[in-house]
A and B are shown apart, each in its own frame.
Chain A
Amino acid sequence: MLVNNGLVYLIALPLFGAALLLLSGRRADRWGHLLATALSGMSFILGAVQFYQMLGRSPENRAVSQKLFSWISVGSFNIDAGLLVDQLSICFVLLITGVGTLIHIYSIAYMDHDKDRRRFFAYLNFFIAAMLLLVMGDSYLNLYVGWEGVGLASYLLIGFWNHKPAYATASKKAFIANRVGDMGLSFAIMIAFATMGTVSFSGVKEAAEGTSQGALTAIGIMLLLAATGKSAQFPLQAWLGDAMAGPTPVSALIHAATMVTAGVYLITRSNFIFDAAPTAQLLVVIVGAITLLFGAIIGTAKDDIKKALAASTMSQIGYMVLATGLGPVGYAFAIMHLLTHGFFKAGMFLGAGSVMHGTGDEVNMRKFGGIRHFMPITFATFGLGYLAILGVPPFAGFYSKDKIIETAFYAGGIKGILIGSVALFGAALTAFYMSRVMILTFAGTPRYDINHPPHESSFLMLLPMGILAIGSVASGFLLARGEALVHWLEPLFEAHEGHGKEILPPVVISLMALAVVIIGAAIAWFKYGRGTVADTAPTDVSIFTRIARRDLLQDDFNESVFMRPGQALTRLLVKTDDVVVDGTVRGVAAAALASGSSLRSTQTGFVRSYAALIVIGAVVLIAAIWAVTL
């Protein structure tokens, strides 16, 4: 494999930025954001150079690596601090640094009025570094460092305004849900080391063939657990909605475009494990299918624009996870959807941020309406993203999502029809809730004080939105043209024998998808597009709507099954420790004291009684000796 000693600078530059900005304190307030943006941009340029060089090489020789130093080495457990950039990593590198830089630029304006803007940029840079480490690490343990690093960045950024207790709680919730997932990754690494003796990607790939089915399945399930935590998939999805407490650029970068897709990366990276462990693979499909519906249903009920988008993110990642569970044929489509989703969802989040910026940080869509008149550019960029996520040809989502639906149908047998239908139904739901967002926000009549109309955002904010909108339009076509991405990623995966059984011609599936999208959008229009919309959420709604508004009871479930019993257990153990464990110790002490004080009463202080005792003692002693000698 080619060695390139420059890879580390991709990570080092933003990491340096983060450290410098945090350590230099208020001194850096004036230039901190500019430096951070520049460093992120430089990382992007370095990534682009890597990509360009990679293009010039033959498919087998595209991967480059760098060994920095031996990180942990004990006995046979040898982990190098090593980097690996191959066809898969480079997609992420470009997405992270590219979208990341755009969001840096956006944030300069968005966070302009915040006195902690420097800290915000430090966190953003730290996130870029950690995320790059995640996708560039050459072993599971290196990935783990980035994995928890992005978790920390996410925690810091969700809780950026942590003086509000609810936001602080949201950040804590995200970190803990992620930690549960991280535990899965720990397990996977431990099992891999115990069974294969290595945890590097290349080592595990080689050893996977000789490893038992049971071990591979266990590793696969544990990796899936990790992915569900990071990518907000069922059953660890509950944190994502609350994570919208973070500033909107964060939601765009971390909780839409990059970090939450790390689970998809992990599964794709571990293709050699999942391909050999069908049970784990099936679970991946199930998790993806459940989540894509779960997210979509929540999305239909949310009035908070960011939470609606977050639910949509969850659902779209469900699509990607579903695709990765479909084996070799699905990985490339998952990555394709991941990339296009990175563009259109980040674009829409930035659009939402722009709307919030223009309306004084309002997030309730029922207080919007008719905003297209005041914010035309935001409307245009958001609208392009909207068309992309719906999968309207020729926008980006059409190429990526249709492929996933198609692949799902071709998975074979009942399974194929089942997951294909789920994916199709999800598409209809997507069309419904996205149209709802569109209509409530941009169409209709204003539901706010018309004397203080929203204002369009500044150029620095519109520029990234514009670029991302272009991506939402064109990226799908570019990636799918001549199956460019599929061929690009092909060397990484086991050769697959074309599609599965084509139960329906692709055209029919595309038309079906288009049809359900139109139906979904039409229902939304009938429900919200005509007439007026109440500016407070109606309360006389069906039980289903209420459940959907409560995020399908995900928090209620977690609270009643984990949190409250956990708290009760904690109280019980605290009590036990005090009463039983320490009680025993104190009991011994008390017993010593009590025996002392009871013996003390024999000490009367009368000399004559002591003398009498001495005499009696002597007599008894003599009698005893006498008795023994006789």
Chain B
Amino acid sequence: MNPTNYLYISALLFTIGAIGVVVRRNAIVVFMCIELMLNAANLSFVTFARINGNLDGQVVAFFTMVVAACEVVVGLAIIVTIYRSRRSASVDDASLLKR
């Protein structure tokens, strides 16, 4: 099968993720969308590895997974803390940066 199709799927997943990040208010959902974008990128990396016939892309994909795992740890911790203090997991409520 033509590897380019995997790239299309990757782009599709990325777009879905990006739209999700922008339109959804629930922090957990935003977070899952970010994961989706990361995994879309992973899919691209693996595909490129396949196309180019070397392992570089796969190595980077592993790195990305590690980073994503770290991010989940820190990100969920923040979300839980915010939820505890504000009783809400909506990202619009935490708009304190402007002040």
Contact = CB atoms under 8 A, between A and B. Distances in A.
A339 B95 CA distance: 96
Contacts of A607: 30, 91-92, 94-95
A611 B97 contact: no
A606 B22 contact: no
Contacts of B91: 606-608
B87 to A, nearest CB: 18
Interface residues of A, number: 9
Interface string A599-616: 000011111100110010
Interface string B64-99: 000000000000000000000000000110111111
B50 interface: no
A615 B20 CA distance: 12
A327 B94 CA distance: 99
Contacts of B97: 603, 605
A611 B29 CA distance: 14
Given A608-B21, A608-B23, A611-B21, A603 B92 contact: no
A615 B92 contact: no
Contact of A605 (B25, B30, B98): B98
Nearest to B15: A615
Contacts of B25: 608
Interface residues of B, number: 15
Contacts of B16: none
A604 B22 contact: no
B18 A606 contact: no
A611 B22 contact: yes
A612 B98 contact: no
A608 B96 CA distance: 13
A611 B21 CA distance: 7
B90 to A, nearest CB: 10
Contacts of A612: 22
Contacts of A606: 91-92, 95
A612 B23 CA distance: 9
A603 B95 CA distance: 10
Contacts of A615: 18, 21-22
A603 B98 contact: yes
A608 B92 contact: yes
Nearest to B34: A611
Contact of B99 (A605, A608, A611): A605
Interface string B1-36: 000000000000000001001111100001000000
Contacts of A604: 95, 98
Contacts of B92: 606-608
B8 to A, nearest CB: 16
A615 B22 CA distance: 9
A604 B24 CA distance: 17
A608 B98 contact: no
Nearest to A610: B97
A604 B22 CA distance: 14
21 contacts: A603-B97, A603-B98, A604-B98, A605-B96, A605-B97, A606-B92, A606-B95, A607-B92, A607-B94, A608-B22, A608-B23, A608-B25, A608-B30, A608-B91, A608-B92, A611-B18, A611-B21, A611-B22, A612-B22, A615-B18, A615-B22
Interface of A: 603-608, 611-612, 615
Given A615-B18, A615-B21, 10 more contacts: A604-B95, A605-B97, A606-B91, A607-B91, A607-B92, A607-B94, A607-B95, A608-B23, A608-B24, A611-B18
